[in-house]
Amino acid sequence: MTVLDTLGRPLRDLRVSVTDRCNFRCTYCMPREVFGPDFQFLDRDELLTYEEIARLVRLFVANGVEKIRLTGGEPLVRAHLDTLVGMLAPIAGLQDLTLTTNGVLLAAQAQRLRDAGLRRVTVSLDSLDDDVFRRMNDSNIGVEPVLRGIEAAAAAGLSPIKINAVVQRGVNDHTIVDLARHFHGTGHIVRFIEFMDVGTTNGWRLDEVVAAREIVERIDAELPLEPAEANYRGEVAQRYRYKDGGGEIGVISSISQPFCGDCTRSRLSPEGALFTCLFAARGTDFRGLLRGGASDEEIVAVIARTWGARADRYSEIRSDETAGLEKVEMSHIGG
């Protein structure tokens, strides 16, 4: 069964946030002045259990979802994540099971995750410059453990590996060519992401956005590029190949070239709320359904009703008015 929203977009991707906690305090996502020692994170009994997540995923897949991405927070801080992977991997109809992580805990878990059935990983790494990276993650964690995590993931067969870098003008934009050069020829794909106005706490400013076109021009000047076709409808990154055959990069242009028209993604929060847009303010409660004894048919009806009513296109209508609206934090529902 294929569920379409009001703009004819199918539900194909579900991002499952397994925790709202993280071992980083990235300034553009989880600033320390907000998420400090007194911040109230979710209690354990508020989180969906792995069994509850697996049941929901099975129902979503039966109704058109093909790809599951595990996110956070930082998903690897939740204990025994490989157990959840092992529950999700065998679900009939699931075509892709992947994980987004900051990579710090990946070296110790990569092989277990692969053995449990994880197929790919995306690792966040905003710069190879230790000082820049530490300033951005605000956790005094350097680049080396992340690179070890990427190496371990590659050794375990979690490929292709994607590396996500959020680009902020005056912060790390002077290091993007070095990042591209480092992974050129490795088979790993660096994806450069325009600094987005996610949530309400990241201090977003338009003048700190480096547009995708400029990112491509800077890299092309050093490592010549050519456009590549999208792998599938709804792919968030515009692809570019190195002309010398050294692989590819991607750019994600939510600000300068919005792609709402092809968006097939929905997001499940750690406590079981379904958000149909990264920039939404409120979600639909599924934990209450699960713990209230709802049948599979009743849950599927809510999935269909929620997605069927969806008209989200925040990035296409972004303005001074919309940018100031309350939005769920990206650290709560994943990117």
Per-residue pLDDT tens for 37-61? 999 999 999 999 999 999 999 999 9
R_g (Cα) of the chain, nearest Å: 19
Cβ burial, residue 1 (10 Å; 0-12/13-18/19+): exposed
- Hey, what long-range contacts does 174-180 have (CB within 8 A, 24 or more apart)? 175/127, 175/128, 175/129, 175/132, 176/215, 176/218, 176/219, 177/218, 177/219, 177/222, 177/223, 178/127, 178/128, 178/129, 179/125, 179/127, 179/128, 180/219, 180/222, 180/223, 180/249
Lowest mean pLDDT among 101-105, 184-188, 257-261, 262-266: 257-261
From CA 57, how far away is CA 268, in angstroms rounded?
A: 10
For position 210, what pLDDT does the model report?
93
Please determine, for residue 120, whether its predicted confidence score (pLDDT) is greater than 60: yes
Which of the 8 DSSP states describes residue 187? S
In whole angstroms, what is the distance from residue 122 CA to residue 161 CA? Answer: 6
Question: Which has the minimum average pLDDT: 88-97, 133-142, 249-258, 291-300?
Answer: 249-258
Nearest Cα residue to 122 out of 250, 226, 254, 229: 250
Closest-CA residue to 273 (of 197, 326, 333): 333
The pLDDT assigned to 324 comes to 56
CB neighbour list of residue 104: distance below 8 Å, 6 or more residues apart: 23, 24, 74, 76, 141, 145, 146, 149
The average pLDDT across 175-179 equals: 98
Asked if residue 175 has pLDDT above 80, the reply is yes
pLDDT score, position 314: 61
Q: Name the 3-class secondary structure at 190.
A: strand
Q: How far apart are CA 50 and CA 232, in angstroms?
A: 30
What was the pLDDT predicted at 234?
A: 63
Number of residues that make up the chain: 335
Mean pLDDT of 115-119: 98
Give the number of C-alpha atoms closer than 13 A to the C-alpha of residue 5, restricted to the C-beta side. 21
For residue 291, CA distances in Å to 49, 140, 272, 285, 287 come to 11, 40, 11, 11, 6
Q: Is the peptide bond before 145 cis (omega within 30 degrees of 0)?
A: no
Domains by residue range for the chain, with CATH: 13-333 (3.20.20.70)
Given strand 96-101, what is the order of strands in its sheet? 225-228, 238-242, 248-252, 189-194, 162-167, 120-124, 96-101, 67-71, 13-17, 265-268, 273-275, 284-285
Instruction: Output the pLDDT for position 312.
Output: 74
Residue 207 has pLDDT above 80, yes or no: no
* Lowest model confidence (mean pLDDT) among 8-22, 93-107, 305-319: 305-319
The pTM of this model reads 0.93
Residues 248, 229: Cα–Cα separation, whole Å: 11
Q: Is 95 helix (H, G, I), strand (E, B) or coil?
A: coil
pLDDT above 70 for 204: no
Neighbours of 293 (CB within 10 A): 7
Q: What is the mean pLDDT of the chain?
A: 91
Of 240 and 256, more confident:
240
- For the chain, how many helices (H) and strands (E)? 12, 12
Please give the backbone phi and psi of residue 139, each rounded to the nearest 5 degrees, phi first. -135, 10
Residue 254 — pLDDT band, cuts 50, 70, 90?
confident
Reported as a pLDDT band with limits 50, 70 and 90, residue 201 is low
Confidence check: pLDDT of 15 > 90: yes
Q: 3-class DSSP state for residue 135?
A: helix
Q: What is the pLDDT of residue 202?
A: 61
Return the pLDDT at 198. Answer: 65
* Average pLDDT of the residues in 214-238: 90
Of the pLDDT bands very low, low, confident and very high (cuts 50, 70, 90), residue 260 is: confident
